[in-house]
Structure 1
Amino acid sequence: MKRKSRLNGKRAVPMPRCSTMEQADTSIDDQMNSMEYFAEEYDMELADALQLVGKSGSIKANLEAAMDEIIARKRSGERIDVVLFYDQSRFGRSGPLHFGALADRLLDEGIEIAETDAFMEDANNATMVRMMKAMIAQQTARGIADNSARGSQQALREGRRSHASKGAYGIDRLYMTEDDEPICIIRLLPDGTRLNLDPETKEVRLRYEPGKMGFKKEKKDKVTLIPGDPEHQAVVIRIFAMRHEQGFAGTRIARVLNDEEIPSPNGKRWTKTVIDAMLRNETYCGVGYANRHSSALYFNQAEGRPEPLPREQGRRIRGIRPESSWYLIAYPKLRDYLPEHLRPAAMAEQAEHRAKIKSGWIKDPARRNGRTTHLLSDILVEPTTGKRLIAKRSRGRIYYGLNKSVDMPAKGSQRRRWLASGPLHRAVLEEIEALICSLPDLRERIIKEIGEQDKQRRGESGEAEQLLANLDKLKARLKSQVRRLGGDDDDIVNDAIDETTRQIRVIEDKLAGMNGGPALTEKDIAAITDGVIKDLSAMLQALAEEGETSLRKVAETLISSAVANLDENEVDFEFAIPAELIEQRNVRLAARNGPAPCRQAYKWRPIPLDAVTVDIPKRCSGDCWEPFEPSGCDDCRRQPKAA
């Protein structure tokens, strides 16, 4: 019997989702069966399903990409009235705020959502319940992450897993029973194929093709690392010998191996990055460190969390945890992997690398050569291409330029130049020194700027009513534009829809800021200002005590813009107090409950400090490389700790 519902006659896109590929064989079919039964019961038509296989519901980008695809199908002329899913967790575990944003995007396109496990006819009640379920789903995901982390730590202590998911070049994985009886050896080939070898004879038993399910250990089975292919081990020993006996750098070692046509671990050519990573890999000395890196979604809430490192477009890259959070795993069978005369030198270089990590000199494990640790690496921007400049060291001096291997300018182009770092570093340090001296004088300036920004946030009298009226007009226009889809001018209509949607979001964000709480009082503004100055003072105090290890962080914080004009050999710096320092101190706005769950708090603007243009001589003299020395003043320049 068909149920009478607001869904009757509507066309729905089923959206089953599972987090791992192993779940795909059963979970996707079960979800589809449930949605097909639901569609028949509610007299709905099902469109082609959008299957999210192996997509974590906690990763916002997965869900946003799915919404983009559904909206694109709608705008291409396909009739889509509903997005259908099994339960709230299948629509994502990214929390109520993100869920509200996704639902809002669909609603703007005339698409509603429905779940099969507990569908509610009353739309208002359904929205409230879904928000609660979205929060529960997020907390469940965090609980799973915590349990998984504890289980991994226990398995590491009991020898049931190794510190890495796969062995390094020239190293195999040995699986054993609970009683240490050998089961098999798994060897990884350069093309991704895995071989199952007999632990006694080393003969090949099975071959697992790339991407296919391989050997699966039992829960209590143990695993350790052992020496692998003798030919590969000989290459590893030769690499360490060229480094510690002949003094070769990574580039020269790679050139020697490439000239002899020896394939690298991935079957391609050797590079300096691969060589350096092998030389710093403690596994070749018989130990491994687990829990050193973190790319966990919830590491911001974890104990011993690494400092979040933003990537372009605001994405996070994995960070390095504090050394106290690492787990040391010993591999007895690898203790004699390197000859005795090479082990001390190899261990010394690896210890030096760990010391750099501990000091904060190296933060991004994806760039083991530490390029981002130079003062202005990835801060300087070339305006023509929009690319960030990297650093290179030549004859003991540092230069900045475009990455030629990625952004190769035309031959003869001025953008092939490398800028001397001396004048740039001196200008940055002088500005930081000036800031140390002027912190007390900044208070009134910050108070005035925060007061003006808060006044702009609240708007003029009658502005809210005007914005609401404009919002209604834009939403009516959006509905009209969506109804026009399906004709020959869909490209033009889609562009118009994008522009209207952008205008709606601008107004909604403005209204969210206006509803973000009452006007800040003089006491509130003074408290925020004192907090900002306190944060700046703490950062500069750390610079005075720690020196170069803290300088990079200060530069990242205070430099709001650094445009490098390679054609003219000049760099324009702009310094500012970042908006983040104001936002984290403004508890009132950060904790507000806005009218729309998908909207963010009011966005504060940076407070500009100074602007400097640095002209670099085309042939930099020796004076350019003289280290910076503070010029001193009567009060604080010679006493940085007092600042």
Structure 2
Amino acid sequence: MTINDVRREDKWRGLRFIILVRQSDDSQGSTSTEAQLQWLRAEGERLGMVLVDEIILNGVTGSLPGKRDDLPQLLDRKRDQDDFDVLVVQRLDRLTRGGTSHGFWIDHEFEKAGITILATGDDLPEDGRYGGLIKAAKYDAAREQARSIGQRSVQGMMHAIKQGRNCVASRTSYGCDRLYLTSDGKPSFVIRNLADGRQHKLTHDKNEIIDTLGQAGGGVKGHYRKQKDEHVLIVPGEDVKVGVVRDIFDLHYNQHWGGKRIADLLNRRGIRSPAGKGWSQRQVESIYENPIYCGVALGQRISQGIYYKRGEQHPEAVNLDAKTLANCHVAPKQHRPPTEWLWQDQPLMKDFLPEPVAVKARQEIEKVLLERWQRRQDPTQPTRSTNKHKNSAYILTGLLFAKQDGEDLSGVMCGNEGHRKRYYRNRKANATYCKGSVLNRLISAEALETAVVKLLRNVLLDAPMLRERVLQAIADRPSTDASRTQLAEAQRERDAIAKRVQLIFQTFDDADLADAKPVLKGLNAQGRALEHRIAELTRALEYVDADSAPEELADRVIERLSGIDAQLPNLPAVTLRNVLRAFVERIEVDMASKNAAVSLRLPPWALHRGDLAMCLAPSSASPTGHETHQHDGLVIHLTHADCRYVHTRGSTTVPPCYDCRRRAA
């Protein structure tokens, strides 16, 4: 080792470092990330640096910069905590495969924040005029390697499908299993998917369980991966699920039942959906619109590759523009024309349905899929926004919850054509449909929104009450030490509940999990309550203006809020929604009586020094006021009100409304 080498190593001694490891595919566990961690820990120790943290990214591609939330979070951590100096990665391709533009953006932003990037596996010059040139070559080489991997992967998949070794249906449908055969066509074993995310490996006659793969709630991690010399066929699965599918096809194609009616019947019978929950209308429709039950698998309807897609003879390039690649979290779906759809016979599924039902279903399914594709090609069809509530008129979304199950309510349009009105409905009513349930009831959006805005105006006009609440909250605020103790206890309780839930999933089988469902539901409710408590305590500890005199804070609140009440009726929907999300803590609706309980709080920005207009408008980083204002400030409850639903049954001239009464302090 030369003197210059010693000097180069001495420059790292005593610096604080964070390790970043990444692998794109986590289906086979964490072998790659563990190997990277072992190497980088040893390298950091050799250079005399101090390890601060380890960031492990499993199943995260480096080819989509828009998906890399970890990099902005590291920059924020450096600015807020300043607890590290160096980011250590194995090679630059572990940092990004987004090319030179993304790599140099990372270099520039991290240099501005005072972070040094150390790639221990790359022989990069630390000084000299050609360091940037070498980095540019490595960044582009990393992206080109990802492109090459994508091309070879698509090519291998196409070859396997043509040889009949692969099924074009990438997912195993409900009531079906996958039979794996050896290269000479002999049955080897069967893979069966379970509702909790695990898999059973069965003998080819399905009489014995050979092994259990994966883990509950772990996605595809640990699932069986097909070998190159194996053939796979779709076969009928469990008898109970096969019977359910046959009943669905009979009810729809012979008795002309719709998806909602069938979902209600299945839920009343206590039959679980593929996810182990109640059936929704769309889940039933996805069953009777699936051609696999007619003995044929359909694939290649959608392409979602970053660089390549399957073509007729060879892989075809996917030419995504630079803006899409730089911003998207997942590659956009491309709906392929019917001429490119791939139909593949599945001989062991031919007798799944009675022949008359199978023939009728096959014809109807092809017709439905073709009409759906044609609608997608219609340029007059409105494009679905990725932000569903950006300009939504449903200003209470995210604040409205059902008393019966605690689920949040979402906005829907209901009614005959030309007389459609806005309502809020329970999400579970759509996800698990049961006829006659109180969760199916609709809450008039206009009536409830008008009542909440009116209640807020009355509260803002009551200046003496506002002043009294601010002074009382400051006087009752616990000390910092007490808050930290309470926060630590709440976090310990939350972690203990999470470990208990994980233990139940790991040790119970399917039958025991069904019996343990009430216990799991109760534990989840406790966990949500603790998360809410932790958030409140965290906000109290982050309160930035505790040294101001209580009277000064109270005067500031009155001054900041004066005039908002007069502006409320004229605010656009986007701004009004942000204001309500700042003031409204929770609205709980009794779905049986439609009565609502409203809780109002003082927004944290009312106590801060700054521009009020910026507090009311959504920030560029967060499109909603709820996300913008939820993190800091002292929580001061303003009022709790009971809003009684008033509606004259049968009247078409008197619209429904709410009569709100504030509770006594």
TM-score normalised by length of structure 2: 0.55
Q: CA deviation at 1:20?
A: 2.4
Structure 2 residue corresponding to 1:92, chosen from 90, 96, 111: 96
Counterparts of 1:90 and 1:167 in 2: how far apart (Å)? 32
Counterparts of 1:97 and 1:27 in 2: how far apart (Å)? 26
Q: Secondary structure at the match of 2:371?
A: helix
Structure 2 residue corresponding to 1:257, chosen from 266, 274, 279: 266
Pairwise mapping of residues 309-348 of structure 1 onto structure 2 (< 5 A)?
A: 317-348=332-363
Counterpart residue number, 1:177: 182
CA deviation map 1:572-604 (0-9, x unaligned): xxxxxxxxxxxxxxxxxxxxxxxxxxxxxxxxx
**Is 2:250 the counterpart of 1:241?**
yes
Counterparts of 1:390 and 1:128 in 2: how far apart (Å)? 53
Q: Secondary structure at the match of 1:15?
A: strand
**Is 2:172 the counterpart of 1:163?**
no
Pairwise mapping of residues 412-431 of structure 1 onto structure 2 (< 5 A)?
A: 412-414=444-446
TM-aligned CA distance change 1:114 to 1:228, over 3 Å: same
Q: CA contact under 8 A between 1:361 and 1:373: conserved in structure 2?
A: no
**Is 2:127 the counterpart of 1:103?**
no
Aligned length: 422
Q: CA deviation at 1:3?
A: 2.1
Q: CA deviation at 1:322?
A: 2.4
Partner letter of residue 366 of structure 2?
A
Q: CA contact under 8 A between 1:382 and 1:566: conserved in structure 2?
A: no
Structure 2 residue corresponding to 1:220, chosen from 229, 241, 246: 229
Q: Secondary structure at the match of 1:338?
A: coil
Q: CA deviation at 1:107?
A: 1.8
Counterparts of 1:92 and 1:98 in 2: how far apart (Å)? 7
Counterparts of 1:69 and 1:107 in 2: how far apart (Å)? 15
CA deviation map 1:377-414 (0-9, x unaligned): 98973173589998768667794746634599994441
Q: Secondary structure at the match of 1:17?
A: strand
Counterparts of 1:398 and 1:101 in 2: how far apart (Å)? 52
Q: CA contact under 8 A between 1:184 and 1:199: conserved in structure 2?
A: yes
**Is 2:413 the counterpart of 1:381?**
no
Q: CA deviation at 1:8?
A: 4.6
**Is 2:285 the counterpart of 1:276?**
yes
Q: Select between 234-243 and 47-56 the one with higher mean Cα deviation.
A: 47-56
Q: CA deviation at 1:61?
A: 4.2
Partner letter of residue 146 of structure 2?
A
Counterparts of 1:50 and 1:373 in 2: how far apart (Å)? 35
TM-aligned CA distance change 1:371 to 1:390, over 3 Å: farther
Counterparts of 1:399 and 1:119 in 2: how far apart (Å)? 65
Counterparts of 1:403 and 1:166 in 2: how far apart (Å)? 34
Pairwise mapping of residues 39-188 of structure 1 onto structure 2 (< 5 A)?
A: 39-40=44-45, 42-63=47-68, 65-116=69-120, 117-122=122-127, 125-188=130-193
TM-aligned CA distance change 1:216 to 1:566, over 3 Å: closer
Q: Secondary structure at the match of 2:275?
A: coil
Counterparts of 1:389 and 1:149 in 2: how far apart (Å)? 40
Pairwise mapping of residues 625-636 of structure 1 onto structure 2 (< 5 A)?
A: none
Counterparts of 1:90 and 1:263 in 2: how far apart (Å)? 42
Counterparts of 1:36 and 1:150 in 2: how far apart (Å)? 38
Pairwise mapping of residues 533-552 of structure 1 onto structure 2 (< 5 A)?
A: none
Q: Select between 168-177 and 77-86 the one with higher mean Cα deviation.
A: 77-86
Q: CA contact under 8 A between 1:175 and 1:221: conserved in structure 2?
A: yes
Partner letter of residue 414 of structure 1?
E
Q: Secondary structure at the match of 2:54?
A: coil
Counterpart residue number, 2:297: 288
Q: CA deviation at 1:40?
A: 4.9
TM-aligned CA distance change 1:185 to 1:131, over 3 Å: same
Counterparts of 1:342 and 1:83 in 2: how far apart (Å)? 61
Q: Select between 276-285 and 116-125 the one with higher mean Cα deviation.
A: 116-125
CA deviation map 1:198-237 (0-9, x unaligned): 2236333333353463444432110000111122111111
CA deviation map 1:295-325 (0-9, x unaligned): 32236998486999999x9655433222333
Q: Secondary structure at the match of 1:270?
A: coil
Counterpart residue number, 2:17: 12
Q: CA deviation at 1:284?
A: 0.8
Q: CA deviation at 1:291?
A: 2.2
TM-aligned CA distance change 1:331 to 1:399, over 3 Å: farther
Structure 1 residue corresponding to 2:366, chosen from 351, 363, 378: 351
Pairwise mapping of residues 424-443 of structure 1 onto structure 2 (< 5 A)?
A: none
Q: CA contact under 8 A between 1:94 and 1:138: conserved in structure 2?
A: yes
Q: Secondary structure at the match of 2:6?
A: coil
Q: Secondary structure at the match of 2:293?
A: helix
Counterparts of 1:389 and 1:204 in 2: how far apart (Å)? 43
**Is 2:6 the counterpart of 1:3?**
yes
Q: Select between 270-279 and 110-119 the one with higher mean Cα deviation.
A: 110-119
Pairwise mapping of residues 189-588 of structure 1 onto structure 2 (< 5 A)?
A: 189-200=194-205, 202-210=207-215, 211=218, 213-298=222-307, 303=316, 317-361=332-376, 381-382=392-393, 384=395, 399=420, 401=422, 404-406=425-427, 411-414=443-446
Q: CA contact under 8 A between 2:248 and 2:262: conserved in structure 1?
A: yes
Q: CA contact under 8 A between 2:338 and 2:370: conserved in structure 1?
A: no
Q: CA deviation at 1:102?
A: 2.3
